[in-house]
Structure 1
Amino acid sequence: MSTTSGYLTVRGIDVDIIYKDIKNLHIGVYPPMGRVRVAAPNRLDDDQVRLAVIQRLSWITRQRAKLRSAERQSEREMVTGESHYVWGVRRRLKVVERPGRAHFEIDGARLVLYVPAGTPTEKRREYLDKWYRDQLRQAIPELIVKWEQALDVTVPRWTTRRMKTKWGSCNRETRNIWFNVELAKKHPACLEYIVVHELTHYFERNHGARFTGLMDKYLPDWRSRRDLLNESPLAEEVWA
């Protein structure tokens, strides 16, 4: 069976397209971020696929809303025994209550939170969010420098933020880039993929054939990195 792939952006929603030797078009919305994937017959073109997505936009929006609701319900209680992901590795949380500054440490397979006794759950979540941001702030600069040189571009400013439906975002006018804080939970290869993805938007706004061609040139294994990013756990860390 012959297949080709591509991208579309439909009313702000990124859509992955796989063209196959099939009869009917299928649209799916997948966790954890509500990724939209279309399996389309080879006889259709991008405009026909775009129309099909627009016609199903209400359904797509509802499915993405359900996923976002499920993510909110999976908030961690920040107690000993929970599992949290750090750079693609699942680590058991251990909470140590003691006086002094709250901070995290990695101890073997554990993620240890040192925190004053009585610290509320929400405050513990804030400490974890800040720690994840710090992890990204340590990892991103080296990747930015590497790919600025490889692509002969300059990134004037980048920052981290929580995003519900995107791993990264690029403003082509200002060239500012935003990275989803959740990337600190993923394998480092995923972060590099997002860096290259967003920098490629400096050259091409949309996710069409030209964008795909540039990604193939810059980062040949980008599809496997993307799949790893979208298929591994996100906000639904599990109890062991």
Structure 2
Amino acid sequence: MGKITVENIDIELVRKRIKNIHLTVYPPDGRVRLAVPQHMDDEAARNFALSKLTWITKQRKKYTTQERQTIREFVTGESHYYSGKKYILRVIETIGKQHVELRDNKYIDLYLRPGSTVEKREKLLSEWYRRNLKEIIPSYIEKWEKIIGVRVNEFGVKQMKTRWGTCNIRDKRIWINLELAKKAPRCLEYIVVHEMVHFLEKHHNKVFKDYMSEFLPAWKSIQNELNGISLQK
């Protein structure tokens, strides 16, 4: 992987066995990546990026001016999200089993040992998010396997800084960002569909977009919704 600079913007330069040029600006910090055919030299790549400078600047501004979530301390009274809904966190000391409960459609209750640290409270909540995603995702996979006509051999959940999801086409494996536990169910379903459609088409080209429009007509609006959300905690 190389790097070029255009108007003081550093751009990751990747040469791949592709025919078309792919320019991407990633949330949350506006990182820019340019994938070009293997035969294209740095000067040609720089000229292409320069021709797209207005678009690059606009996208970077959109991400860098997004409101960032405040640093979490995982204490009583903080606002936390689950499945697209805001809840109030309550930390409850217990000598019993440490666990998480939703209460009165308003609270997320963390039951922990007395004197718990921020790290332990965060870990308990993250594990709860992960378990819930792992319970929900299989139903989406089963539903969309029948519609799309592909099979998912394995799925996983992990924290990712720049992607909502990713996949391994050869192994038929998909990975879902843990942060999606906090988002509306339509966002989670969209990412599952997005990664599964990659089993039919690797690139984000017209073929891929046509598949998405066929299977999930509202995908563009959901994509825009996610693009306006920071991946940072």
TM-score range, shorter chain: 0.7 to 0.9
Contact 1:74 1:235 in 2 (8 A): no
Secondary structure in 2 matching 1:149: helix
Task: Go from structure 1 to structure 2 and tell me whether the alpha carbon gap of 1:34 and 1:144 turns closer, same or farther (over 3 Å shift).
Answer: farther
Task: Go from structure 1 to structure 2 and tell me whether the alpha carbon gap of 1:161 and 1:104 turns closer, same or farther (over 3 Å shift).
Answer: same
The answer to whether 1:222 aligns with 2:197 is no
Contact 1:33 1:164 in 2 (8 A): no
The answer to whether 1:83 aligns with 2:79 is yes
Aligned residues: 198
User: In the alignment, which residue of structure 1 is the partner of 2:37?
Assistant: none
Contact 1:34 1:165 in 2 (8 A): no
User: In the alignment, which residue of structure 1 is the partner of 2:196?
Assistant: 199
Secondary structure in 2 matching 1:166: coil
Task: Go from structure 1 to structure 2 and tell me whether the alpha carbon gap of 1:234 and 1:211 turns closer, same or farther (over 3 Å shift).
Answer: same
Secondary structure in 1 matching 2:75: coil
Task: Go from structure 1 to structure 2 and tell me whether the alpha carbon gap of 1:140 and 1:49 turns closer, same or farther (over 3 Å shift).
Answer: farther
Task: Go from structure 1 to structure 2 and tell me whether the alpha carbon gap of 1:143 and 1:33 turns closer, same or farther (over 3 Å shift).
Answer: farther
Please give the alpha-carbon distance, in whole angstroms, between the structure 2 residues aligned to 1:50 and 1:221.
Answer: 35
Q: 1:92 aligns with which of 88, 94, 99?
A: 88
In structure 2, give the amino acid aligned to 1:80. T
Secondary structure in 2 matching 1:213: helix
Contact 1:148 1:155 in 2 (8 A): yes
Task: Go from structure 1 to structure 2 and tell me whether the alpha carbon gap of 1:188 and 1:34 turns closer, same or farther (over 3 Å shift).
Answer: farther
Contact 1:15 1:35 in 2 (8 A): no
Task: Go from structure 1 to structure 2 and tell me whether the alpha carbon gap of 1:216 and 1:180 turns closer, same or farther (over 3 Å shift).
Answer: same
Contact 2:161 2:232 in 1 (8 A): no
In structure 2, give the amino acid aligned to 1:83. S
Please give the alpha-carbon distance, in whole angstroms, between the structure 2 residues aligned to 1:112 and 1:181.
Answer: 19
Contact 1:92 1:109 in 2 (8 A): yes
Q: Which has the higher contact order (CA 8 A, sep 6+)?
A: 1
Q: 2:153 aligns with which of 145, 153, 156?
A: 156
Which consecutive unaligned segments of at least 5 residues does structure 1 have? 1-9, 17-28, 37-46
The answer to whether 1:176 aligns with 2:173 is yes
RMSD: 3.4
Q: 2:124 aligns with which of 124, 127, 139?
A: 127
The 5-angstrom pairing of residues 1-240 of structure 1 reads: 11=14, 31-32=27-28, 34=30, 51-52=48-49, 74-107=70-103, 108-232=105-229, 234-236=231-233
User: In the alignment, which residue of structure 2 is the partner of 1:43?
Assistant: none
Task: Go from structure 1 to structure 2 and tell me whether the alpha carbon gap of 1:159 and 1:216 turns closer, same or farther (over 3 Å shift).
Answer: same
Q: Give, in angstroms, the shift of residue 55 of structure 1.
A: 8.4
Which consecutive unaligned segments of at least 5 residues does structure 2 have? 1-12, 16-21, 33-43
TM-score, with structure 1 as normaliser: 0.71
Please give the alpha-carbon distance, in whole angstroms, between the structure 2 residues aligned to 1:85 and 1:145.
Answer: 26
Q: Deviations over 1:125-145 (max 9, x none)?
A: 111110110110111010000
TM-score, with structure 2 as normaliser: 0.73
Contact 1:185 1:234 in 2 (8 A): no
Q: Give, in angstroms, the shift of residue 173 of structure 1.
A: 1.2
